[in-house]
Chain A
Amino acid sequence: MQFDDISEQAGISPLPTWSNGVTMQDINNDGLIDIYVSKVPMKGLFKNERHHNLLYINNGDLTFTEVSKDYGLDFSGFSTQAAFFDYDRDGDLDMYLLNHAVHSVRSYGSIKKRSEKDSISGDRFYKNMLSEGQSLFVEVTEEAQILSSPLGFGLAVTTTDINDDGWLDIYVGNDFHENDYLYINNQDGTFSESFNQYFTHTSRFTMGVDVADLNNDGALDIFTTDMMPYDAQIALKSGGEDTNKVNQIKKNLGFEAQYSRNHLQLKRPYGDYAEIGLLTGTYATDWSWSVLMQDFDNDGRNDIFISNGIEKRPNDLDYINYLSDSKFSEFVETEKNEAKKDLIANMPTLQIRNILFQNKGNLDFGTVNTSFLGSPSYTNGSAYSDLDNDGDLDLVLNNLNAPATILKNTTSEAVQSLSISLEAPITEGAKITLYQGGKKQIKEAVRVRGFQSSSTPRIHFGLGQTPADSILIRWPNGKLQWQYGPFQKFEKIAYNPTPAATETIASNAEYTLSILPFKHKENTYLDYEREQLIPEKLSLEGPAVVYEDFNGDGKKDLFFGGARYQASQLYIANKKEGYRLQDIEDFRKDDKYEDVSAAAFDADNDGDLDLYVVSGGNDFKEQDAYLMDRIYINDGKGNFARLPIFLPQTNGSVVVVNDMDGDGFQDLFVGSRSIPGAYGLSPHSFVVKNNGDLTFDPIWKNRLGMVTDAIWHNIDDDPEKELLAVGDWMPVMVLDRQADNTYQMQILPDSKAHYGLWNRILAADINQDGKEDLLLGNVGQNFKWQPSQEKPVYLYLDDFDQNEQLDPIIFYDFFGAPRPFNSKDDLGQQLPMIKKKFTSYVKFSEVENLKDLVDYKDEEVLEIKKMTDARSLLLLKSENGFQVQPLPQEAQFSSIQDFYWDPKKEQLFYFGNSNQFVTELGQQTANPGAIAKFIHDKNGFEHQEFLPLPIQINPRKIIKLDDGTFLLSSNDDYVYLIAKKIPNE
């Protein structure tokens, strides 16, 4: 590989002006690649020239002529990068110009600002007039409905057909608080910014973006880069996620959620995206710029290359708080260059290695610690191309303060590859599907990818050991073309559409979705403002749902528990389809209670069903009157009156019914979630005996754990049911009634290695062997905490600073190194001694355990809890105990809140998501619900399909109604009905 620098002879400007992105594209359809350079103006610095973007037209003799002015592309402003594509299918390439704001982010403003125009930093769109017979671009930003506001801080742009309609859409990555934009091409010369319909959250400081299929499911996935360090020490001394407060403020201003980490957006069959950066371990690669997803090892799977490093690290907290210091006060007054230079000189520097995540299939990308590529550097812009035509993709990297480098790919020639050059006036945006022994791969002919760079127009497929059978090309004008093998290593394919070719679009929407009128309205209570070290809010439980016949008409009715300040509601089933709301005075009177769980039971043995309603909420103190549970007695017609008796007064979570002593009256277990104000400590849970005379006695109470769910279930040899309870920081606990009517509490032996943040337990004979198995819904693996039995997450509970307030301190394993969960600032606010002990962030970043932090030995701590498993599990009952199996990968995308098991079809319906976690952990919105099928050969589950639920909802309880419809209650949301589609509809 030898290259000559011919820039000067070729007529490329030698002026040392500030250039950003470069795009290589034939913009005048003469078959020759032209060059467009995006620049920022540096008026006054160089010959007083006002710099503008440059367009070099290729003369065909290795010389270029700069004609930006003639073409109307001599924009002068803060340009980052241009992307060319034919947005109106008129046969020429139009241009999206990505610009970036230059003002400092002083205030967030509101999203209303998006409608403003900014002439030098707003993004722009230009229509190519070539097809109209003019060598000219005309600005059509407004007509095309492209946002051109001062909010946009564009650092990354790529084009891709998001909705698979054959028209290229645009993904724009914005730095800072502005959300990324997703422009869907309306096919009529306009775009619609549609972020909300596709994403629930994105990276915050988006710097690079690329689009490729990462799991070979034929759908294109999106990766954006951000700047979260993977080194625990660096992370602890750098600025990270927004505080919960700032997160809330941004939300109030209309911005969508953003997290300061890489995002891997996996496309779901319904078009929207499940973000699984945490699950795949690709979320933290430090200060990352470019991302390029190509098959670098030719194994048929796209890998992820990430360029890394910034010479000056401005988010170093010691720098911000201590090093910059007051000697720069004059800077504020005068913005003097000298002070500015000093400021920059003082910033810490750190070279970081680039990263290549090798795709091993099944979304396994290895770990960041084993994926380094090259030596430490400051690499930003990057491009791929097979420079030496040896059948694999090499990388060209731009490095700061160092020469550019080429990384030559030395992949063995034993693995095959196929490189396709498309030959047509316009190839940008073509979609290529390659069929290969029953499998397929897809690629888009898009060259602007990553960060400020454009790569080769050649389409590269790695084939592994299997040759390609056929190729389907969808040209940018929508025409299809089949090509059949055998293929050479390098193929040129000229435009020659196959007549009458059609693409089959698989539709798997087997279910339809509708909405019931009951809407759960969660009250605003921010638990972390009272307990600032906690990882989760405990005030987002409910609504309770009960589906029973309350008026004895043979039709089941629906009870919904209200959140605080919302009355519970009873819907009586009509004679025909539908329900009518029953007015119940005592429900209205009790609207201040938060009804998190409820059970129907015959309290007085009069033949109708009464209600036990569990009161919850983390906002009132324990023993508050509004935490008292309630029993409502039914008059047989569905009219309820509250029974005036004393019942448990805790932040409750669950009630389950069972006549445990066989006296003919149904007794209750009532589980409790927390002691409000003392996160981590176990509240009392209760066994409540029904005396049969409308009196109830709590005959057992104990600090069982932070209970979320429980079932009565017989797991031993005696005929009596035991009580199984799960919850946060718990294994499965078993409560067994002894002969003397006392209760023995113990850990289910097979769950000893599985302390989780459990939400749900269900017993069912899954493998149909006559023995009931257990299903356990956990927080899932798309989570920052990835504990194991060897490396648990520890929750230390004590009053470490002796101020009569519990301090919950968490340590977890962060890419192989133990680190405190809370930042120095958060810890210092609750425990001022932290500020005294760690007078710098560097010192704090060396903390590895509790002793380092607060001088407590483990054995001195009041209580230590742990979490050793984040996965949702299947526990298969066998002769000697339970055999533990994780649910499929898709079931680990999000937390699981409820299950429904269909024994006939051997299908497991599961539902999840949660907004309960603090910003540092992030919202869980990657899988609201799906079906897994039990496979007897594997003795385990396989993913079957996602359900067509809005991706952001927070389901809590699933109930199968008698007509076969599923009813899904959601926190702070409607009640959804999921019905199976009638075939041929």
Chain B
Amino acid sequence: MNKFKLLIISVLTLHFGCERDTSYLSQLQDPSLFRDAMKNLSNIVVYDIFSPPVASRVYVYPSIAAYETMRLALPDQYQSLSGQIKGLTPLPEANSDQVNYNLAALLAFNKVGKMLIFSEDRMEKFQEALDQKIRDFGVPRSVRIASENFAETVAIHIKNWADGDNYNQTRTFPKYTILDGDRFWKPTPPDYMDGIEPHWNQIRTMVLDSAGQFPPKDPLPFDLTKGSPFQKQLQQVYEVGGGLGEEELAIAKFWDCNPYVTHHRGHAMFATKKITPGGHWIGITNIVTKQAESDFGETINAFTNVSIALFDAFISCWDEKWKTLVVRPETLINKYYDEEWLPVLQTPPFPEYTSGHSVISRAAAIALTDIYGPDFRFEDTTELEYGLPARTFDSFIAASEEAAISRLYGGIHYMMAIEEGVKQGENVGKFIVNKIQTNTPLQNDLAASN
């Protein structure tokens, strides 16, 4: 692979070498440029308070825009996703041979990101700094203009495609009306927020045939009789919550990933904001691409595969949540066992079954395993900036297992939602990695022979 990369660079160098300083070309191969852009997007997602499913949408379209652009420089290495994911058509051709596709990929990423987030000023500020960096690299004006123009074309192309995913239409679909009966989900304290995205299953999937393609087992029948299978799981949440060890508490907090937790102190109220569960896996991907010394292309490839897995996994999970409408443990424990009982984590505002973190973590782990292998040990520092120490995992699957069980420790899920959620994520993840191929067959063969 390294040999191949060298070849490309030398070809490009030859082409321009006689007239200009082309050191910028290697500078534009720096994968941290993309990681920084992704980190910036993640920061804005946190600031703007996107809910977990909507956040997955904000990650996926810019990533695909970057991927489809980047691969134009490496057509032999990476295949287009058009034809592999729903509704995506090939990018229009650039009308200039001056385009630098790495630069255009970065620009397209930011452009599509800007369309999806709210705080455009934050994206603009980041883009201005990037522009300065690009000028400092000595990228010729003609290249900058051509790349910018092409990035704009890409962004419009992706935007038009994204517009067909039913997101705008679902904004005006009905809210969830609270149903009588203990078994149905109810808004939870302290803010009793409306249920998030009850119609997310109507969002167009990327790879899955439909939102309901991998239905989990039915949840345990609602039964509060002592000793019933459901009651046992409820009791388990109640008891685990009362006796958490230090490690379990650390695990619960590490994987909290609640984008908007409100705190009340008398009249004073404020919110703490964090990355979403999907954002956490974007963070892991960041760490992994660095640790694996992935090049520019592979970095984008990894993020793109992960964000596609996250996107479809959320749709699959939300489909189940709003079909089964299972009540959160907090609601039942407060009503029947202990009015003062508080889960370690704030209960997020949507139905319980299946656990979103379980589903999406497993799907993302499978996507990463597919690229970096089953024994990739890494130190997860994603939560450092939120005051939580790093945790080390022997594999992506191990991390996803911990993310799943953390929801029991956190007091926000029954075991059934975790176990079935993991299975659901496994099904979604495997289906996706089998169905879409980003590396060209040749590359796959090379990788296999190495």
**Chain A positions near chain B (C-beta within 8 angstroms):** 102, 104-109, 113, 175, 205, 239, 243, 245-246, 248-249, 252, 312, 314-315, 319-322, 324-326, 328-333, 343-344, 347, 524, 526, 529-530, 532, 801-805, 807, 829-832, 835-836, 839
Which single residue of chain A is at the shortest CB-CB distance from B262?
A320
Tell me, yes or no, whether B268 is within 8 Å of chain A by CB: yes
CA A322 to CA B122, docked complex, whole Å: 13
Known: A319-B270, A320-B271, A325-B47. 8 other contacts (CB 8 A): A108-B192, A314-B268, A325-B271, A328-B272, A329-B386, A332-B272, A831-B171, A832-B171
Whether A529 contacts B168 by the Cβ 8 Å rule is no
Q: Given known contacts A245-B187, A249-B192, is B272 in contact with A329 (CB within 8 Å)?
A: yes
Nearest 5 pairs of A and B residues by beta carbon: A324-B270, A107-B189, A805-B172, A803-B168, A314-B268
| Best-surrounded residue of A106, A326, A331 (most CB of chain B within 10 A) | A326
B270 touches A343 (CB 8 A): yes
- Check A245–B121 contact: CB distance below 8 A: no
User: In the complex, which residue of chain A has the Cβ closest to the Cβ of B122?
Assistant: A839
Are B264 and A106 in contact, CB atoms less than 8 angstroms apart?
yes
B15 is an interface residue with CB less than 8 A from chain A:
no
B387 and A248 contact, CB distance less than 8 A: no
List B residues 180-216 near A (Cβ within 8 Å): 186-187, 189-192, 194
Number of A-B contacts defined by CB within 8 Å: 122
Asked if B265 and A805 make an inter-chain contact with CB atoms under 8 angstroms apart, the answer reads: no
Partner of A804, one of B49, B169, B194, B270: B169
In angstroms, how far is the closest chain A Cβ from the Cβ of B202? 13
Q: Which of B117, B169, B178, B262 contacts A805 (CB 8 A)?
A: B169
The residue on A at minimum CB distance from B339 is A109
Contacts of A532 in B (CB 8 A): 172, 175
B76 part of interface (Cβ distance < 8 Å):
no
Determine whether B261 belongs to the interface, using a CB cutoff of 8 Å to chain A: yes
In the complex the two chains form, is B118's CB within 8 Å of A839's CB? yes
A249 neighbours in B (Cβ, 8 Å): 178, 186-187, 192
Q: Is the CB of B296 closer than 8 A to any CB of chain A? A: no
Q: Shortest CB–CB separation between residue A340 and chain B, in angstroms?
A: 8
Chain A residue with the shortest CB-CB distance to B195: A245
B119 beta carbon closer than 8 Å to chain A: yes
List 28 A–B pairs whose Cβ atoms lie within 8 Å, in order of A's numbering: A104-B263, A104-B264, A105-B264, A107-B189, A108-B192, A243-B194, A246-B187, A249-B192, A314-B267, A314-B269, A319-B270, A322-B47, A324-B272, A326-B46, A326-B274, A328-B272, A329-B386, A331-B272, A333-B387, A344-B268, A529-B174, A529-B176, A803-B168, A831-B171, A832-B171, A835-B48, A835-B118, A836-B118
| Centre residue among B118, B168, B172, B273 by max chain A CB count within 10 A | B172
Report how far A804 CA is from B164 CA in the complex, Å. 13
Interface status of B33 (Cβ within 8 A of chain A): no
- Chain B, 109-133, CB within 8 A of any chain A CB: 117-121
A889 CB, min distance to chain B CBs, angstroms: 36
With a CB–CB cut-off of 8 A, which chain B residues contact A328? Answer: 270, 272
**What residues on A are CB-neighbors of B26 within 8 Å?**
none
Given A249-B178, A836-B120, A839-B121, check contact A332 B269 (CB 8 Å): no
- Return A532 CB to nearest CB of chain B, in Å: 7
Known: A108-B189, A832-B171. A113 touches B176 (CB 8 A): no
Minimum Cβ distance to chain A for residue B384 (Å): 11
Which size class do B's interface residues fall under? 35 or more
In the complex, the chain B residue whose C-beta lies closest to that of A838 is: B118
- Smallest beta-carbon distance A229→chain B, Å: 15
CA distance A314 to B264 in the complex (A): 10
In the bound complex, residues from chain A placing their C-beta under 8 Å from that of B450 are: none
| Cβ of A585 to closest chain B Cβ, rounded Å | 30
Q: Are B175 and A245 in contact (CB under 8 A)?
A: yes
With A801-B168, A803-B169: A329-B342 Cβ-Cβ less than 8 Å? no
Q: Least Cβ distance of A473 to chain B in Å? A: 42
Report the nearest A residue to B190, measured CB to CB. A106
Greatest chain A CB density within 10 A among B171, B190, B342 is at B171
- B47 — which chain A residues lie within 8 A by C-beta? 322, 325
B190 close to A105 (CB less than 8 A): yes
* B387 and A803 within 8 A (CB): no
Specify the chain A residue showing the minimal Cβ separation from B386. A329
Chain A minimum-CB-distance residue to B267: A314
List, in ascending order, chain A residues with CB within 8 A of B263's CB.
104, 331-332
The residues of B with any CB-CB pair to A shorter than 8 Å are 46-49, 117-121, 168-169, 171-172, 174-178, 186-187, 189-192, 194, 261-274, 334, 339, 342, 385-387
Inter-chain contacts of A804 with B (CB < 8 A) = 169
Q: Which residues of chain B have C-beta atoms less than 8 A from A802's C-beta?
A: 168
Are B272 and A326 in touch, CB under 8 angstroms? yes
Is the beta-carbon distance between A107 and B387 smaller than 8 angstroms? no
- On chain A, the residues within 8 Å of B48 by CB distance are 835, 839
| CB–CB A347/B177 < 8 A | no
Q: Are A329 and B274 in contact (CB under 8 A)?
A: yes
A167 to chain B minimum Cβ distance, whole angstroms, is: 35
- Say whether A320 contacts B270, CB under 8 Å: yes
CB distance A245 to B120 under 8 Å?
A: no
Cβ of A614 to closest chain B Cβ, rounded Å: 25
Interchain nearest-CB distance for A343 vs B (Å): 6
Of chain A, the residue at the smallest CB distance from B189 is A107
Query: Which residues of chain B have C-beta atoms less than 8 A from A113's C-beta?
Result: 339
Residues from chain A with a CB closer than 8 A to the CB of B273 are 325-326
- For the complex formed, measure the closest distance between the CB of A113 and the CB atoms of chain B, giving whole angstroms: 7
Chain A residue contacts of B270, Cβ below 8 A: 314, 319-320, 324, 328, 343
Q: Which residue of B lies closest to A247 (CB)?
A: B192
* Complex Cα spacing A678 to B178, Å: 22
Report B-chain residues with C-beta under 8 Å of the C-beta of A835.
48, 118
A75 to chain B, nearest CB (A): 21
| Complex interface: chain A residues within 8 A of B267 (CB) | 175, 205, 314-315
Q: Which residue of A312, A319, A321, A529 contacts B49 across the interface (Cβ within 8 Å)? A: A321
**A830 close to B172 (CB less than 8 A):** yes
Partner among A329, A805, A831 whose Cβ is within 8 Å of the Cβ of B387: A329
Output the least CB separation between A794 and chain B (Å): 21
CB distance from A768 to the nearest CB of B (A): 51
* Distance from B196 Cβ to chain A, minimum over Cβ atoms (Å): 11
Residue in chain B with minimal CB distance to A106: B190
Q: Which chain A positions have C-beta within 8 A of B339?
A: 107, 109, 113
Residue of B whose beta carbon sits closest to that of A799 = B172
**How distant is A344 from chain B, measured CB to nearest CB, in Å?**
8
Closest to A328 in B: B272
Instruction: Name which residue of chain A comes closest to B49, CB basis.
Output: A321
Give the complex CA separation of A175 and B264 in angstroms: 14
Question: Are A315 and B269 touching (Cβ within 8 A)?
Answer: yes
Q: Are B118 and A246 in contact (CB under 8 A)?
A: no
How long is the Cα–Cα vector from A330 to B187 in the complex, in angstroms?
27
Contacts A109-B339, A530-B174, A803-B171 given: A332-B261 contact, CB under 8 Å? yes
Q: Of B46, B177, B265, which one neighbours A104 at CB under 8 angstroms?
A: B265
What is the chain A residue whose CB lies nearest that of B169?
Answer: A803
CA–CA, A530 to B339, complex, Å? 32
CA distance A243 to B192 in the complex (A): 10
Q: How far is the CA of A243 from the CA of B176 in the complex (A)?
A: 14
Please give me the residue from chain B that is nearest to A176 by CB atom.
Answer: B267
Closest to A840 in B: B119
Complex: A331 Cα to B386 Cα, angstroms: 11
Q: Chain B's nearest CB lies how many Å from the CB of A42?
A: 16
Select from chain A the residue with minimum beta-carbon distance to B341.
A107
Chain A's nearest CB lies how many Å from the CB of B187?
6
B118 touches A321 (CB 8 A): no
Which of B121, B186, B267, B385 has the most A CB atoms < 10 Å from its CB? B267
> In the complex, which residue of chain B has the Cβ closest to the Cβ of A525?
B177
Q: Are B177 and A529 in contact (CB under 8 A)?
A: yes
Within 8 Å CB of B121, what residues of A?
839
Task: Report which of A104, A245, A314 forms a contact with B194, defined as CB distance below 8 A.
Answer: A245
- Closest Cβ of chain B to A571, distance in Å, is 31
Q: How far is the CA of A325 from the CA of B270 in the complex (A)?
A: 8
